[in-house]
Amino acid sequence: MDLLIKNGRVIDPSQNLDDTLDILVANGLIKEIGKGVTAPVGAETIDAGGSYVVPGLIDMHVHLRDPGLEYKEDIISGTKAAAAGGFTSICCMPNTKPVIDNKAVASYIINKAKAEGFCNVFPVGSITYGLSGDRMSEMGELKESGCVAVSDDGKPVKNSEMMMRALQYAAGIGIMVISHAEEIELVGEGVMNEGFTSTELGLKGIPRVAEDVATARETLLAEYTGTSIHIAHVSTKGAVRIIREAKARGVKVTCETAPHYFTLTDDAVRGYNTNAKMNPPLREIDDVAAIKEGLKDGTIDAIATDHAPHHLDEKDVEFNVAMNGIIGLETSLPLSLKLVEEGVLTLNQLIDKMSCKPSEILGLNRGSLEIGAIADITLIDPNIGWIVEADALCSKSKNSPWLGTQMKGGAAATIVDGKLMYKR
């Protein structure tokens, strides 16, 4: 069915567009964009007055937990949460059971998402077999079966030679390597950021330098091998500086951060709040400032959520025992819109980091509203007020530090391949 989106404020960084326009979608593609577009017979019309109409948002860092850990999340609930959060495409990380290190698992995910999902799902394969860290996955087959990147997310590749060879090999195949940059010996048994708060709470700290050292290694390896690398979930001032300097030297490094790293500090852990426990951990006020600065000056290319669902039984426990990670798909948009309100980013830059850049980094061929482009479109209501409530979240898991928090802005509608998959 054709779809006409009328009167929205169309913001498309890929074409430098910011104007009140109509968009006509036909056969899953953008057919026409302009003023006063008329609806063909039988077309559905959406009045987007008061809303932003933007290229469908892309979250390049999501844990869908399917296969194997469906009690936390599955492809259906995860994509439903994504669509409700305004995402038309998500990339899912390989730490499933079994790991996405072979064609069978990758195909299972892609097929299930196509058949039953609410948005596009692009799997990320593992760098090493079973996330073992010592034997390279069949990256060629992974790419052929639809993986858009490789990563050992959650389990940093410790062996520097392994990482260097993976970068070289992946470059040959033409697949992006995403690094979870943490020096695990320095992480040790740490459970939160090392600083005054960890000192007061008596919790074992993870020093910021654990991330900085690993980020430096990754950029140096990419520089030496002349390959591309993407650094996941940047959280420290040091990592931002290292990436900024590497970019200035011409290293092909890109990176992402997550809303919690520019919204919260390790103060959120007080009270031993396990919904503020993740890896990398929440940092300090000057890190938050540096992350914002990195977003502003372009050092940080993308905003991803690192959506990491965990069952209540895994979070409603003593702090040390609790699993790392928080859900983020349904709160990312309002939290990121705050950056515009605070003057950190322009609206155009924000959409760039939440759609165009992720598409570009991973070669997804999305993130644009050009005529002929795939009709992945997000309608954003910038003013809607809502409160994060566990029962109202689409995600199976409710491990959010923002439960009960007032939010401003959110997805009004999410259109995937020309089909309306979510409407508020």
Partner 1 sequence: MAEFKHKHIIALRDLSKEDIELLISTAENMRDINCRDIKKVPTLRGKTVINLFYEASTRTRTSFEIAGKRLSADTVNITTASSSATKGETLADTALNLLAMKPDIIVMRHAVSGAHYFLANKINCSIINAGDGAHEHPSQGLLDMLTMKDRFGRLDGLKVAIVGDITHSRVARSNIQGLTKLGSKVYLAGPPTMMPPGVEKLGDVTVCGTMNEALQDADVVMMLRIQQERQGKTLMPNAREYSRYFGLNPTNIKLAKPNAIVMHPGPINRGVEMSSSMVDGDQSCILKQVENGVAVRMAMLYHVCGGELE
Residues within window 204-263 making contact with partner 1, judged by CB under 8 A: 204-205
Q: Which of 59, 183, 194, 218 binds partner 1 (CB under 8 A)?
A: 194
| Element counts in the chain: helices (H) and strands (E) | 14, 18
Nearest Cα residue to 124 out of 220, 56, 59, 214: 59
**Structure-token pair, residue 376:** 């992945």
Q: Distance between CA 2 and CA 27 in Å, rounded?
A: 7
| Helix (H/G/I), strand (E/B), else coil: 77 | helix
34 three-state secondary structure: strand
183 binds partner 1 (CB under 8 A): no
Phi and psi torsions of 35, nearest 5°: -95, 145
Q: Is 321 in the site for partner 1 (CB under 8 A)?
A: yes
| SS3 category, 345 | coil
Judged by CB under 8 A, does residue 401 bind partner 1?
no
CB-wise, 43 or 209, nearer to partner 1?
A: 209
Residue closer to partner 1 by CB (options 320, 383) is: 320
In angstroms, the CA 9 to CA 6 distance is 9
DSSP conformation class of 176: E
Least gap, CB of 269 to partner 1 (angstroms): 9
Any residues with CB less than 8 A from the CB of 271 and at least 6 apart, and which?
Answer: none
Catalytic sites, residue numbers: 306
Binding segment (CB under 8 A) for partner 1, from list 47-55, 233-241, 256-264, 313-321: 313-321
Residue 317 engages partner 1 in binding (rule: CB under 8 A): yes
**Span from 88-96, 170-178, 203-211, 227-235 in contact with partner 1 (CB under 8 A):** 203-211
Q: What whole-number distance in Å separates Cα of residue 178 and Cα of residue 152?
A: 8
Using CB under 8 A as the binding rule, whether residue 404 contacts partner 1 is answered as no
Q: Measured from the CB atom, is 38 or 199 closer to partner 1?
A: 199
- With CB under 8 A as the contact rule, the residue among 36, 318, 372, 391 that binds partner 1 is 318
Q: What is the DSSP string of 228-262?
A: -EEE-S---HHHHHHHHHHHHHT--EEEEE-HHHH
Shortest Å, Cβ 199 to partner 1: 4
Piece of 47-55, 85-93, 199-207, 332-340 that binds partner 1 (CB under 8 A): 199-207
Answer yes or no whether residue 20 interacts with partner 1 by CB under 8 A.
no
CB of 318 to partner 1, least distance (A): 4
Report the nearest approach of partner 1 to the CB of residue 44 (Å). 49
Cβ atoms within 10 Å, residue 390: 13
Find, among 393, 375, 388, 385, the residue nearest to 5 by Cα.
375
Among 320, 365, 383, 406, binds partner 1 (CB under 8 A): 320
Site residues for partner 1, 267-286, by CB under 8 A, read 271-272
Please report where in the chains the tokens 């006063």 appear, as a residue: 36
Q: Decide: is 390 part of the binding site for partner 1 (CB under 8 A).
A: no
Region of 34-42, 65-73, 196-204, 238-246 interacting with partner 1 (CB under 8 A): 196-204
Report CA torsion sign: 154, 155, 158, 160: negative
Q: According to the binding rule CB under 8 A, does residue 319 interact with partner 1?
A: yes
∠ CA 313-117-388, rounded to 5°: 50
Stretch that binds partner 1, among 34-42, 213-221, 236-244, 314-322 (CB under 8 A): 314-322
Is 134 or 316 the residue whose CB approaches partner 1 more closely?
316
Shortest distance, position 319 Cβ to partner 1, whole Å:
5
Smallest gap from Cβ 323 to partner 1, in A, equals 11
Nearest to 179 by CA among 227, 231, 226: 231
Q: Which of 191, 402, 398 is nearest to 309 (CA)?
A: 398
H/E/C letters for each residue in 90-119?
EEECCCCCCCCCCHHHHHHHHHHHHHHCCC
Choice from 81, 93, 99, 203 touching partner 1 (CB under 8 A): 203
Calpha distance 317→297 (Å, rounded): 40
What's the CA gap between 168 and 177, in Å, rounded?
10
Window of 202-210, 291-299, 392-400, 410-418 that interacts with partner 1 by CB under 8 A: 202-210
Residue 195 binds partner 1 (CB under 8 A):
yes
**Could you say which of 179, 198, 225, 331 contacts partner 1 (CB under 8 A)?**
198
Residues of the shown chain interacting with partner 1 in the complex, contacts defined by CB under 8 A: 194-205, 271-272, 313, 316-321
